[in-house]
Structure 1
Amino acid sequence: MTIGPGHEAAQDADRPPVTIFGPDFPFAFDDWITHPAGLGEIPPERHGEEVAVVGAGISGLVAAYELMKLGLKPVLYESSQMGGRLRSARFEGAPAEVVAELGGMRFPVSSTAFYHYVDLLGLETKPFPNPLTPASRSTVIDIEGETHYAESTEALPPLFQEVAAAWADALETVSFTEIQDAIRARDVRTLKKLWDALVPLWDDRTFYDFVATSEAFSKLSFHHREVFGQVGFGTGGWDSDFPNSMLEIFRVVMTNCDDDQRFVVGGVEQVPWGLWNHAPEQLVHWPAGTTLATLHRGGARAGVAAIARAADGSFAVTDAWGHTARYPAVLATCQSWLLTTQIDCEESLFSQKMWTALDRTRYMQSSKTFVMVDRPFWKDKDPETGRDVMSMTLTDRLTRGTYLFDHGDDLPGVICLTYSWMSDALKMLPYPVDQRVRLALGALKKIYPDVDIAQHIIGDPVTVSWEADANFLGAFKGALPGHYRYNQRMYAHFVQGDFPPEQRGIFLAGDDVSWTPAWVEGAVQTSLNAVWGIIRHFGGRTFAENPGPGDVFAELGPIALPD
């Protein structure tokens, strides 16, 4: 595994990096997709056969790209926008690099399978301006009406140092360092032993339970827990996640998802669009120069309205305009709720236990509001204090997180005025974009009374509330206590050897099927799982020197808790 141009990992050079290697399923996806042998092969007599791919987000496009390389013909259906939640909004008339990232915007370097495709497309990345990182220059933490300015963690008051130390100490009680060491070494045996012991202990317990009952935090005040929830560590506050299963939080921190993050210069939607237009160097069956775009004659099909089993055993997929086509296999990468709300999906295609898992998926709300400004004015210095006039801001006010994107002194800047989740996101839901901007500016004025942000705004603001979009119904999954069993069913669904015939041939992928919702690596890894399943469904095989995820799933797969 390598970290390609523009996103060198800030890791200890003497040790292997932490990657999203497990912990539930410690399979080296990055090695599988870069092995010179390739992912496998499809019987020649089946070359050119079609596979329906529902959803042209990153998981759909990764799977379609790899299936095309194997000689199959993926047929993408998309009801909204190519790229899904990798959505980069352009400001009218602005240079190409000046964008608002409405969905995924910060990508940890531990996402090695995702960065394989970033590198393949030759895209540039830069450090994301998270709080208290060099990329943010300076950070302001505003809580309970008191404002703290810092250019490093060490400059914060003791209260914040105590919170950070307590969090680090609490994590050590669940083998944090040992698990990270096993991930670095890709020591499967040790990693599974340590992680599998945590699953039954923490599946039923919340993030808040872990914090409140930890010995490290119990020595401190309630206010310390409150501060941790409001402004947190790393990328910001954590109280929106407090009701979630603690297992979900363990995965995030143990695989460094919340650390060493980067953004894609010019917008992350270049990754899905790039895969749509990229001609692979090694291609089976199709002529050189073939791309997903040329296979589709330029455009994906309309969104899917129905999926059913036809009389001949194939899948009948009907689009929004009533056109029905038949396929030997289907890959559904849409949010799982859409299979019961937007798509008339024949019930017999999944077991009742699988339907329960799909329906019990719980999505988190998310809202962002962006403005473009004439220049990165926040770098101006206050003549009295010598500080930046405005900083990356974490607060308990309704803006919660405010991020500053500097494209150079001679180009417009972008401010994410407010990035909030759950109840904080719902506060924005009823309001149009202009009112959202006014609310955010009003909150920030209390933090920066001498800064007139509005005078710098140019162009029209951009906003999103993912829960209000009928094609998504939420931003990403947030598993509740007791949801491990549901996740295990969805994740393991690509291994279909023991399924009854009526349930074979339809596959699932996407970050809500993965163990790491909200992180693009989960979407990529589950799409690669589905590619393995489709190879097998078509009678194909992987190579002995490069076994795929399904080949080792019985040995390395996530443990199954009793029902």
Structure 2
Amino acid sequence: MVLAAEESQNEEPGPAAPVTMFGPDFPFPYDDWLRHPAGLGTIPSRWHGTEVAVVGGGIAGMVAAYELLRLGLRPVLYEAEEIGGRMRSVPFAEHPDVLAEMGAMRFPLAATTLFHYIDTVGLRTRHFPNPLDPHTSSTVIDLEGERYRARTPDELPNVFAEVADAWDKTLQEGAALSTMTQAIAHRDVPTIKSIWNQLVPRLDDQSFYGFLAASPAFTSFRHREIFGQIGFGTGGWDTDFPNSVLEILRIVYTEADADQRLIVGGSNQLPRGIWSHEPADSAHWPAGTSLAGLHGGRPRGAVTELRRTPEGIAVTDADGTRRTYPCVVFTGQHRLLLSTVRCDQSLLPRPHWTALERTHYMSSSKLFVLTDRPFWLDTDPETGEQVMGMTLTDRLPRGVYVFDDGPDRPGLMCLSYTWNDDSQKIAALDPEERLEVLLSALEDIYPSVDIRSHVIAGPVVTTWENEPRFMGAFRANLPGHYRYQRRLFTHFMQRDLPAEQRGLFLAGDDISWTGGFAEGAVTTALNAVWGVVRHLGGACHPDNPGPGDRYDELAPLELPEG
């Protein structure tokens, strides 16, 4: 099926524009909203200095708290562990300046709202070594015992080009890829809405694999298998095969899987940088005020209970301290509201509880080691090629990433980056057992390379489904979950809710349309900020309307519930 778009309001496409994570479900320009000189809005002065709670110190919590501070409120941050959430950069004890990124580690330039904050705190980024990226010195693909080495896709055997062509044809014919990406680049809302609102009802119940299998371009099982195992852009796609194809289209349309960067010095510098940043334009607060300063250097501890009271929403922490706030922004993994955090059921509408119950989370594991040097850059005397490269394989490691800061510095290897079933294969193993099975698998791929002799520290490991404060890496909708996701994303619009269900605002990437991407965490945090401003009787400047002010124009398609 080839989709037809309504005639765009832009008669001429205009100059080339970058594709950004703009839509397609809710095409609001968060980056422009942040940059506007009028700011995000104002609240009545009687609320200045009033405490509001922000639960969770990941990137969503830090952005929400930072912007609420700028508006003149006093955010009270609760964090059960360390500031950063899944922006977790773990140092090696032997070399604390070398960091293993256990969670978020690559950020697309299309994430322009996220990069607003990266620029605000003055962080540097550099290219992430994804497979076949122009800045990746070598990529090795290992499938069914056959090994292929390349720097560009053109150097691979023809079957890989056939798979890439099948993927492009499937996207063009089944999802109007070129038309949609151009519309997103030019922020052409009518065209975006026209295409997406046709796709959602047709594909909501379709899995990613079903979408591929139904395409005339992917009639070959072998092509589907190769695509699942090695994919294009960031690597293999088969762990996403059970998920809704709408999840995949959101990523592809917005180029979230392309041109990715790592944050030099560790991704956790971003939430920590926001924590200590002193905005120059805060209402109410004097110059030099920061979130860290308002908290005496550390946030409050874990939240154990949320309750409605006549005065507002009562938050109880692990120390047993109970404080009441007019508003609470909850940014932790939202399945915690079903388990770890005792939550008054009246705080959310019943359909939203159902949506939380149905939320599906991806599993994920990583293992890093430190090496004496970036030995993988050594030249093999027999082939003249690097002895190793970034590796995609159908064996247990699945994805092996290599990082170097120069020949005289230790090297960093992510020996395995796995998802779902692949993560669960090693979830019960201790770190040393994991290292052993991964090295054994890599010895089969690189029999002439003695990786073990170069390892000087590690392993550093995580399995997110085993983490009690997370219980999974990130949300990924299954077929039929669009309605649930819409309920959660639109919760910041509380005008039609009864009074007893207002004041609690959900934020975080599992509320966004792009689970697992920091951009979604940031934009939902900004939705929650708009909700708090409105809840307290404030408003945005007429020249800079916020997401709620434009909601009726941009609202995600609502599918029938009957």
Return the TM-score normalized by structure 1. Answer: 0.96
Q: 1:450 aligns with which of 425, 448, 451?
A: 448
Q: Deviations over 1:460-500 (max 9, x none)?
A: 32000000011000000110011000000000000101100
In structure 2, distance between residues paired with 1:230 and 1:280: 46
Gaps spanning 5+ residues in structure 2: where? 1-13
Contact 1:381–1:389, Cα closer than 8 Å, also in 2: yes
Contact 1:136–1:404, Cα closer than 8 Å, also in 2: no
* Corresponding letter in the other structure for 1:468: N
Q: Which residue of 1 aligns with 2:484?
A: 486
Q: Which residue of 2 aligns with 1:3?
A: none
In structure 1, distance between residues paired with 2:279 and 2:555: 31
Q: Deviations over 1:496-553 (max 9, x none)?
A: 0110011000000000000000111000000000000000011111001100000001
In structure 2, distance between residues paired with 1:58 and 1:95: 23
Q: Which residue of 2 aligns with 1:279?
A: 278
1:95: Cα distance to partner?
5.5
In structure 2, distance between residues paired with 1:29 and 1:468: 34
* Corresponding letter in the other structure for 2:301: A
Q: Which residue of 1 aligns with 2:107?
A: 107
In structure 2, distance between residues paired with 1:320 and 1:73: 21
Cα distance change, pair 433–14 in 1 and its aligned pair in 2 (3 A)? farther
In structure 1, distance between residues paired with 2:311 and 2:482: 32
Determine if the alignment matches structure 1 residue 402 to structure 2 residue 403.
no
| Superposed counterparts of 1:126-141, under 5 Å | 126-141=126-141
* Corresponding letter in the other structure for 1:186: R
Contact 2:368–2:458, Cα closer than 8 Å, also in 1: no
1:215: Cα distance to partner?
1.1
* Corresponding letter in the other structure for 1:18: V
1:14: Cα distance to partner?
5.4
Q: Which residue of 1 aligns with 2:8?
A: none
**Other structure's SS at 1:30 match:** helix
* Corresponding letter in the other structure for 1:236: G
Contact 2:367–2:415, Cα closer than 8 Å, also in 1: yes
| Superposed counterparts of 1:198-347, under 5 Å | 198-218=199-219, 221-310=220-309, 312-347=310-345
* Corresponding letter in the other structure for 2:54: V
Determine if the alignment matches structure 1 residue 497 to structure 2 residue 528.
no
Aligned CA-pair RMSD = 0.9
**Other structure's SS at 2:386 match:** coil
Q: Deviations over 1:214-243 (max 9, x none)?
A: 01112xx21111111111111111110000
In structure 1, distance between residues paired with 2:251 and 2:122: 27
Q: Which residue of 2 aligns with 1:6?
A: none
Q: Which residue of 1 aligns with 2:29?
A: 28
Contact 2:371–2:411, Cα closer than 8 Å, also in 1: yes
In structure 2, distance between residues paired with 1:94 and 1:408: 15
Determine if the alignment matches structure 1 residue 145 to structure 2 residue 145.
yes
Contact 2:370–2:457, Cα closer than 8 Å, also in 1: yes
Q: Deviations over 1:326-356 (max 9, x none)?
A: 1000011011110010000000111110100
Contact 1:336–1:359, Cα closer than 8 Å, also in 2: no
Q: Deviations over 1:177-199 (max 9, x none)?
A: 10101001111111111111110
1:135: Cα distance to partner?
2.4
How many matched pairs? Answer: 547
Q: 2:428 aligns with which of 420, 427, 430?
A: 430
* Corresponding letter in the other structure for 1:257: A
**Other structure's SS at 1:134 match:** coil
**Other structure's SS at 1:267 match:** coil
Q: Which residue of 2 aligns with 1:76?
A: 77
**Identity across aligned pairs (percent)?**
55
Q: Which residue of 2 aligns with 1:358?
A: 356
In structure 2, distance between residues paired with 1:501 and 1:75: 23
In structure 2, distance between residues paired with 1:131 and 1:409: 22
* Corresponding letter in the other structure for 2:115: Y
1:459: Cα distance to partner?
2.0
1:134: Cα distance to partner?
2.5
Q: Deviations over 1:137-159 (max 9, x none)?
A: 01000000100011111000011
**Other structure's SS at 1:550 match:** coil
Q: Which residue of 1 aligns with 2:390?
A: 392
**Other structure's SS at 1:136 match:** coil
Q: Which residue of 1 aligns with 2:5?
A: none
* Corresponding letter in the other structure for 1:446: D
In structure 2, distance between residues paired with 1:337 and 1:480: 16
Q: Deviations over 1:349-408 (max 9, x none)?
A: 111101000111100100000001111111100011000000000000000000001111
Q: Which residue of 1 aligns with 2:519?
A: 521
In structure 2, distance between residues paired with 1:358 and 1:50: 27
* Corresponding letter in the other structure for 1:125: T
Larger displacement relative to structure 2 (85-94 or 533-542): 85-94
Contact 2:311–2:324, Cα closer than 8 Å, also in 1: no
In structure 2, distance between residues paired with 1:460 and 1:177: 45
Q: Return structure 1 stretches of 4+ with deviation > 2 angstroms.
A: none
Q: Which residue of 2 aligns with 1:157?
A: 157
Determine if the alignment matches structure 1 residue 123 to structure 2 residue 123.
yes
Q: 1:415 aligns with which of 397, 413, 416?
A: 413
Q: Which residue of 2 aligns with 1:185?
A: 186
* Corresponding letter in the other structure for 1:484: Y
Q: 1:471 aligns with which of 469, 472, 481?
A: 469
In structure 1, distance between residues paired with 2:279 and 2:357: 37
Gaps spanning 5+ residues in structure 1: where? 1-12
* Corresponding letter in the other structure for 1:522: G
Larger displacement relative to structure 2 (393-402 or 229-238): 229-238
* Corresponding letter in the other structure for 1:100: A
Q: Which residue of 1 aligns with 2:41?
A: 40
Return the TM-score normalized by structure 2. Answer: 0.96
Contact 1:535–1:541, Cα closer than 8 Å, also in 2: yes
